[in-house]
Structure 1
């Protein structure tokens, strides 16, 4: 089978089996893709699964249906809606990008110009330019890398294999229906050419797939072994006033959980120094919230205190209980709240 026949085979499969996603225009539709919805979904999908993103996308698109709406949103409101989706730098860049696009009067249509926007890297720029604007950009995510490594039986480990796999993907990228082709090859990786137990028997590329012929599909893509993640420690301080108000602070814009509401904590290090945000009698609950970030594991010991109505914190502000939404906290901080003794949470 000739390589030039492969895109057509894949598109025939996609026309019948495309996933129904809230940001996607289905194949054969006469509707024009909305660049805002494509961009929003692609930013949310960075390092996050489709299943996790769907409800967030639908909520964002309902609250802020256009890029101009999002550009005019309050930072705190956007960060609160993003809570739980993780990788919070994406939310900060989402706002920066929305405001930049609104000031330009709309999204640029080509790959190079999209790269100049905050938070948009090579993959996201390629996906937007292909899906939203019909440009023949080479879209490379983890799904596409896996498909290309198996199709060509490429055993060079990632990340060293990235240029090789990009070259293979570029050779198949179409100038006709580039958006559908980009989504088709991603769907193939997500639903058929999966990391474990790929469904080779129903794959539209089963015959030309070199890894299937060699019986090596389960081994690919090869990956360079990762270094073990270190563990960092810290203390989370949960202070509750006699009237039920809770002590929270907004984390610095730069760094992990930047711009998010959080319980005051110490630094996260090998040996953190105590840093209580309030003069009070603090109790170590004996429990800790555990969370894994990209580069390290974190263990936060939970210390609690009750405070009089007149208490003045060194850091943060007391939020009235009626205004406190645990769901607005990032996942790590919700874990801290969930592990706080019930007697305190009921105050």
Structure 2
């Protein structure tokens, strides 16, 4: 009996992939399409608003908001890599995607996700310098250094994920058209479809996951240990509250991002984890990019003030 993940095994030709549909019910498919499209539009609007607010208001031209605007840009690109193709396949047409296209999506998705994790670690370092070394903050976090940190995060993520993607796409696959139990070409579900020995590839995936997730998370944790120690020594309750408020939004995003990603890429592989991986992928593809602008807007006084100011200026211009 053939594997349920292999279609048209006897056909010859280049390897192509199709994504497993969420449901075969046309009514539920239509509801899912509208729901995911709405989430995607909200993600684009929310993160674009953050970028525009940071660019427009000079009061937000600081390293913290420079990193925040770059995080929002990464979230837009990250989601756009996945959602349009996902929406086009949601009605069960199962349009094949060639191995080259699947590899390209995997590479861009993993690179942007890795850069996202590195950028969150950089943001923790920025908060550490701002709270623990406030007198040297402007000397350390210069515009040039901030730009170098963002470019470095992108380059490091690119180098790590390029090697992994090349190794995976050169694997032998059994069959012409293979069904991926997922809605995107991610490393774990594609590895499961390979015919050859994948122990080395799984080890490299774990190593890359360690470098992208574990190491930055440890650096974030160390930064916040120093930050917490400094905050507790602040005499006034107002000062402690102000210092904590600049970190709480970032901590919320870190726990969401690293928690979901670790469950997918760092846990042992098992035959029963495929559906769980797909559900977790929905969280870091839709929920986290949607919550990021909400968290930073609702819990950040500077961003809220800038939004109110922009809305007031808009109303004033409409009245005139």
When normalised by structure 2's length, the TM-score is: 0.29
Specify which structure has the higher proportion of strand. 1
Specify which structure has the higher proportion of helix. 2
Higher-RCO chain (CA-CA 8 Å, sequence separation at least 6) = 2
Task: Please tell me whether Structure 1 or Structure 2 has the larger radius of gyration of its CA atoms.
Answer: 1
When normalised by structure 1's length, the TM-score is: 0.28
